[in-house]
Amino acid sequence: MKIAVIQGPNLNMLGVRDQQVYGPMRLEQIHAQMKDFAEQNGIEIEFYQSNLEGEIVDRIQECYGDTDGIIINPAAYTHTSIAIRDAIAAVSLPTIEVHISNIYRREEFRQKSMTAPVCTSSIIGFGPFGYHLAMVGMMQVLSEISALRAAQQGAPQE
């Protein structure tokens, strides 16, 4: 099982940027915790962060045929990027959107997600723990997909 974790703009500034909203953890610490969890559960995990929309689109597209699922925090692009939305839809992989803060308790312009409708689910407002929840959720989603495929292969053909 292989999961790609894609982080959007300004997440490289976690721990420095607006700690009242995002907390004191740095992105490297979040990734280290995710890596530990992945290793304990036999999951291959890759991390990617970019402040550039096109690079995020490219990374999502690179997941096609190479990755089982995506955990993404599009950050500010959540609210504006049709390109990222279209890339997620195009690869048709289980995708979980994560937001550290509760976007529904923030400014009005942050309360609309362009990407959520094409994601499998969203985890919002749990701080860095949301990434752990996303890992557990992704394991469940991929397990269900695997069980469904096995059942379909074992079902008699009509």
Catalytic status, residue 99: yes
10 token code pair: 């300004």
Q: Which of 77, 99, 104, 132 is catalytic?
A: 99
Tally of helices (H runs) and strands (E runs) in the chain:
5, 5
| Residue 22 is a catalytic residue | yes
Q: Return the HEC string of 82-150.
A: HHHHHHHHHHCCCEEEEECCCHHHCCHHHCCCCCHHHCCEEEECCCCHHHHHHHHHHHHHHHHHHHHHH
Residues designated as active site = 22, 99
